[in-house]
A = this chain, B = another copy of it.
């Protein structure tokens, strides 16, 4: 009887957490999607600073990056998702789960530059956007070098 009650309580607790309702393959697919949406947005900003500059387009792209940067993607790195397939096999390196401090610093740097990117984009100065795009790209690259396996 006691064990049944315990099981019921545990079930409620687990069902109440978002992570428990997420399939590992969904978590992997969703994080790949979030990076893909940011990849598109980075490409848009690059195209604008290298070609004809369109302020509104850059603002839209920067807002997507900012929203995803602030979304708390860490929630998608569930235990057990160091292996597995979403859209494709995950390229997350094991260091994501073992080097928390280093990862936190890399994520924080990205977050800071993504928020700054949105501010600079709203300002509409193409040269400033180009400079900030460079800084933001560096934080992407830094994290990929350490935490994402090469293809």
Contact = CB atoms under 8 A, between A and B. Distances in A.
A48 interface: yes
Given A37-B33, A63-B67, A18 B72 contact: no
Given A51-B15, A63-B67, A57 B32 contact: no
Contact of A60 (B32, B41, B60, B71): B71
A60 B72 contact: yes
| Main SS class of interface, A | helix
A111 interface: no
Given A16-B51, A32-B36, 9 more contacts: A17-B51, A18-B48, A18-B51, A18-B57, A21-B51, A34-B37, A60-B71, A64-B68, A64-B71
